[in-house]
Structure 1
Amino acid sequence: MKHSMKIMLPFLMIAGLLTGCGSQESIDTTAETTQATEAVTTAAVTEKETQAETEKSAEMPEATNETKSENSDNKSLVVYFTPAENSGTDAISSATVTNWNGEDMGAAQVLANMIHQHTDSDLFSIRTTAEYPLEYNDLADYAKSEQDNGVLPELTTHIEDIGQYDTIFVVYPAWWYTMPQAVYSFFDEYNLSGKTIIPCATHAGSRLAGAPSTIEELEPNATVISDGFSVSASDVAGAENDVTEWLGQLGL
């Protein structure tokens, strides 16, 4: 079961990784040093059970309107997670954001938008009932507690028709050498059998943080791309050419 694997995984990753300072969204840490930061994003979302298709289009224009309509044989989705969207506050410190194309956002949000724009994919933000602290040391402790206790935060946004997508990019900040627990909640909710999953991470040394093999366990009937894109969180604003080149290598 997915739950059992995720409950055990945090104890195997006690060396840890969480988000860093400044515009970084992930940095490495040791038992002696713990650092974290949060990311800033501004994406719209949908409600799976209570919204009609027209309401979903109005509330989540990127995820429903900006679609790969010219290539319906391989429709793609960019799924991303950022703690600032789940902080329960609009107060965002300028020290924790990256300015990209005139907008302030977190590193994972920047990477998600680059992929979204270059592939004309739909865009979906993972939102949870959990409220993540924005102060980076508190966020580090909160995330480690979630992982150590195998917590799967409840999702408040949902994809109405996951079946329409053939390729799914999953963009996340590397935390404690793995994905945030909210991303595990996403995989727990959806059966992605038959789909191609491409992990993408912002990091401070751990690159994809072991996500390809982890996702293969969570979604054994999906095709997981092992060489997904990763970039240092502090360098993400200048990574657009690298993203474009990488997508070209994938034929996207």
Structure 2
Amino acid sequence: MKKKLIVYYSYTGNTKMIVDILKDNLDVDIVRLETIKPYSGSYDDVVEQGKKETDSRYMPEIKEIGIDLKDYDEILLGSPVWWYTFAPAVRTFLSKYDLSGKKIVPFITNGGWIGSTVDDIKSLANNSQVKNAINIKFNGSDMETSMSEINAWIDKL
């Protein structure tokens, strides 16, 4: 039986908070996406840089993930929403790795509107099934989505 894999990017720690909940409830391996050149400066500086990067569909170089994706048939893909889509590091992952035949389960953290994040994942995750996405809302670092909602989603996995 193939295992589940969590692949995620987290800048402020909100998406990592969800990864910690998942690892306590599921038998999963975990890969954190890391950019070669970390974001720096104030939060506002990074927000402005993120807007430019998402607008231009920029793909920052990411560190190797260090695992063989062939060992997994289901990938839980975590990303914060950056300007109504996924973080640029996730774009790099989706473009760089072959996810054909995989089931992709997005968990999206955001402070407002999810935008086109799930549709954008579907458009880049060619030949894979994207389903059971969950939108997890935060107000700053306070999670607004209830644990009962998250647990109900986990039970479906």
Report the TM-score when normalising by structure 2: 0.89
- The partner residue of 1:196 within 99, 103, 106 is 103
- The partner residue of 1:219 within 120, 125, 146 is 125
Shift of 1:238: 7.1
Over 3 Å counting, the alpha-carbon distance change for 1:180 and 1:122 in structure 2 is same
1:16-66 deviations in whole A, cap 9, x for unaligned?
Answer: xxxxxxxxxxxxxxxxxxxxxxxxxxxxxxxxxxxxxxxxxxxxxxxxxxx
* Aligned counterparts of 1:240 and 1:127: Cα–Cα separation in 2: 27
Report SS of the residue matched to 1:173.
Answer: strand
Point out where structure 2 has 5 or more consecutive residues left out of the alignment: none
| Paired residue type of 1:231 | I
Identify the residue that residue 67 of structure 2 maps to in structure 1: 160
- The share of aligned pairs that are identical, in percent, is 28
2:62 and 2:92 in contact (8 A); partners too: yes
Report SS of the residue matched to 2:82.
Answer: coil
| Paired residue type of 1:224 | V
Q: Which has the larger radius of gyration?
A: 1
Shift of 1:74: 4.0
2:2 and 2:72 in contact (8 A); partners too: yes
Counterparts of 1:1-252 in structure 2 under 5 Å?
Answer: 73-83=1-11, 106-207=13-114, 209-225=115-131, 227-234=132-139, 235-236=142-143, 239-248=146-155, 250=156, 252=157
Number of aligned positions between the proteins: 155
1:195 and 1:222 in contact (8 A); partners too: yes
Aligned Cα RMSD in Å? Answer: 1.9
| Paired residue type of 1:176 | W
* Aligned counterparts of 1:137 and 1:243: Cα–Cα separation in 2: 30
* Aligned counterparts of 2:37 and 2:57: Cα–Cα separation in 1: 14
Shift of 1:146: 1.4
Shift of 1:241: 3.0
1:163-187 deviations in whole A, cap 9, x for unaligned?
Answer: 1011101111111000011100011
2:54 and 2:85 in contact (8 A); partners too: no
| Paired residue type of 2:10 | T
Shift of 1:236: 2.5
1:145-202 deviations in whole A, cap 9, x for unaligned?
Answer: 2123332111113232111011101111111000011100011111111110011111
Higher strand residue share: 2
1:128 and 1:157 in contact (8 A); partners too: no
* Aligned counterparts of 2:85 and 2:53: Cα–Cα separation in 1: 12
1:2-24 deviations in whole A, cap 9, x for unaligned?
Answer: xxxxxxxxxxxxxxxxxxxxxxx
1:219-244 deviations in whole A, cap 9, x for unaligned?
Answer: 2210000x411111234287433221
* Aligned counterparts of 1:238 and 1:152: Cα–Cα separation in 2: 30
* Aligned counterparts of 2:117 and 2:106: Cα–Cα separation in 1: 7
